[in-house]
Structure 1
Amino acid sequence: MNSHEKMLGLLDLFDGAEDAVTVTIDEMHERLGYTRSTLYRYLKTLTDAGLLTSLPSVGYMLGPRIVELDYKIRMGDVLIRAARPVMEELAVQFRGIALLCRRYRFDVLCVHQESGTDAIHSGYDRGRRRSLLHGAASLSILAYLPDHQLRKFYGEDPAPFAAAGLGGTLKDVKGSLREQRQHGWVSTAGDVTPGVTGVAAPVFDGRSEILGSLSLTLPDARLQSKTLEEVAERVVFCAGVISKTIAYS
């Protein structure tokens, strides 16, 4: 890695475990192996840019510039702006929680949430990352992952695919995902949160490549098939509206 990549690598220390909110110089030195002089030089640059900040006896944490950038993303993100109106309508119509997620590497990141009920509360808040292998919001993205990326993802560790019920071989996994694409939507019951049903459909960018998903979480793990079909039809429609808005924006 060059020096810029090494410096940005410091930000990766705050990735992963949700309780990893502060990191000390000693921890950075142990985990990255950089000399202390190099660490201090990188930290000064990142702190001056507002990407990191520090408190005595506590350590370094993400800085105020991150908060500012998050606000600008929420206000200006084309995907969120396109999705917010239909998400509000969807959540109120079915008294559920609408989630907008986008693909992030081989994970899924929640970027927006709208609630139309007090019966359930989603812990999948904005900024939380989850596996591509669990939950309707994730599986509806996984189904459209480009073949070369699916191969790479599967090759890293096939075991979780089998544990998720997608198949014991890459061929089996592709078959399972093909069925999901043909269906047009994905539903799961209690896969991530016990006692709820998730229904999701894919969202595409202007080149018809998978961008993310729109999902609706409902406070019932045993929806009747007619009700499930009705919900799924509406979720697919709303996801299509978002995709078309993105394509023409």
Structure 2
Amino acid sequence: MPNSDAESDPARGTSSSSLERLISVLDVLEESPAGLTFDQMLEVLQLTRSTLYRYVKILSEAGLITSLPDLGYTLGPRVAELDYKMRAQDPLIHAARPVMTELSRSVGGVALLCRRYRDKVLCVHQEGFSETFRSAYERGRDWPLFKGAASRIILAQLHARVVSRLYRERTQEFAASGLGRTLDAVKASLAQIRHAGWCALESEVTSGVTGIAAAVFDTQSLVVGSLSITVGKTAMKDEEVRRIAERVKFCASIVSNAISARK
């Protein structure tokens, strides 16, 4: 990464480049399992000391990062505040919450609402509870696009160019997921999921459960996330899986239509 504030990409401008470096401080803290000292961040980010001091000051004053003596820097309390505000303001969560409550009650299990985030999928809301399992797809936890029904149904809706790039970057992981050992095989597998309109997988993310998911689309008919139900059993009969899947598809369509109606 650049180590001078004067260095910039002419096509994007100095301010854009500086903002990306500022955000990179949050990125490195997000990926760290524990706090990082200033010198540790300096080594990872390869910024000048004065630049990192300025970024740390800005982020600290905004409450986005915080520090404790001898423990280093971590994400700050503002992140929790933003999470609360997102749950209160996100139109997708508003539209999905009552549908998810009913889906969880009628089918039995845990309903999840997930969003695509960069090249991964993030659970943004959860409804329902099971005494037999605890879903590993907890709110705020991210998973790869090819891992689990809630993720894979989103992957199936992405443009072929995106799928091709992801396959080039994670060929072995795609093969291990069972989607295919060649790009053509992966595209064929995703086409089947897309045609069905739902995806069901057993013990992919949480052992001993079945996840059944359908895609949620925005006002431009682009995939924005997924709605899914996690049922605390496996080896379900095909007719039972299809019955639940059609219900999940219907619920996802209600959410998609509710978003479109807000235009």
Report if TM-score (shorter chain) is over 0.5: yes
Is contact 1:21-1:62 (8 Å) kept? no
1:195 deviates by: 0.7
Aligned to 2:199: 186
In the TM superposition, what whole-angstrom CA distance separates every residue of 1:122-178 from its partner, at most 9, and x where no partner exists? Answer: 132111000111111011001001122112111212121111111121111111111
d(CA) in 2 for partners of 1:209, 1:221: 31
The question of 1:118 aligning with 2:110 is answered no
Q: Which amino acid aligns with 1:42?
A: Y
2:56: which partner in 1?
43
Residue 3 of structure 1 corresponds to 18
The count of aligned residue pairs is: 247
- Aligned with residue 217 of structure 1, among 230, 237, 242: 230
Indicate the residue corresponding to 1:31 in structure 2: 44
In the aligned structure 1, how far is the partner of 2:207 from the partner of 2:217?
Answer: 29
Identical positions, percent: 49
Give the distance between the partners of 1:246 and 1:200, measured in 2 at CA.
18
RMSD: 1.3
Hey, what does 2:257 align to over in structure 1?
Answer: 244
Distance apart, 1:67 and its partner CA = 1.4
On the 8 A contact 1:187/1:197 being kept in 2, the answer is yes
Deviation at 1:190, TM superposition (A): 0.9
Aligned residue for 1:72?
85
Rounded to whole Å, the distance in 2 between the matches of 1:68 and 1:116 is: 25
TM norm structure 2: 0.90
Segment drifting more, 110-119 vs 69-78? 110-119
User: Is the 8 Å Cα contact of residues 209 and 234 (structure 2) preserved in structure 1?
Assistant: yes
* CA gap 1:209/1:180 in 2 versus in 1, 3 angstroms: same
Using the alignment, how far apart are the partners of 1:21 and 1:51 within structure 2? Answer: 16
Supply the distance in 1 between the matched residues of 2:60 and 2:164 (Cα, whole angstroms): 39
Instruction: Give the whole-Å Cα distance in 1 for the aligned partners of 2:163 and 2:249.
Output: 23
Task: Give runs of ≥4 in structure 1 deviating > 4 Å.
Answer: none
Local SS of the residue matching 1:191: coil
Separation in structure 2 between the aligned mates of residue 42 and residue 117 of structure 1, nearest angstrom: 44
Question: Does 1:16 find its partner at 2:16?
Answer: no
- Name the structure 2 match of 1:152: 165
Q: Which residue of 2 aligns with 1:53?
A: 66
Q: Give TM-score, length-normalised by structure 1.
A: 0.95
Aligned mates of 2:117, 2:20 — CA distance in 1: 19
Q: Is the 8 A contact 1:88 1:116 kept in 2?
A: no
Residue pair 2:215, 2:225 contacting (<8 A) in 1 also: yes
Residues 52 and 62 in structure 1, CA contact (< 8 A), matched pair in contact too: yes
Query: Which whole-Å CA distance do the structure 1 matches of 2:97 and 2:44 have between them?
Result: 40
Contact kept in structure 2, 1:23 and 1:59, CA below 8 Å: yes
Following TM superposition, by how much is the alpha carbon of 1:107 offset from its aligned partner in structure 2, in angstroms? Answer: 0.6
**Residue number in structure 2 paired with 1:131:** 144
Structure 2: gaps of 5 or more residues: 1-7, 9-16
> 2:224 & 2:149 partners in 1: Cα distance?
15
Query: How far apart are the structure 2 equivalents of 1:117 and 1:207?
Result: 35
Distance in 2 separating the partners of 1:9 and 1:228? 43
Query: Gapped runs of 5+ residues in structure 1?
Result: none
Q: In 1, Cα distance between the equivalents of 2:232 and 2:222?
A: 31
1:241: how far off?
Answer: 0.3
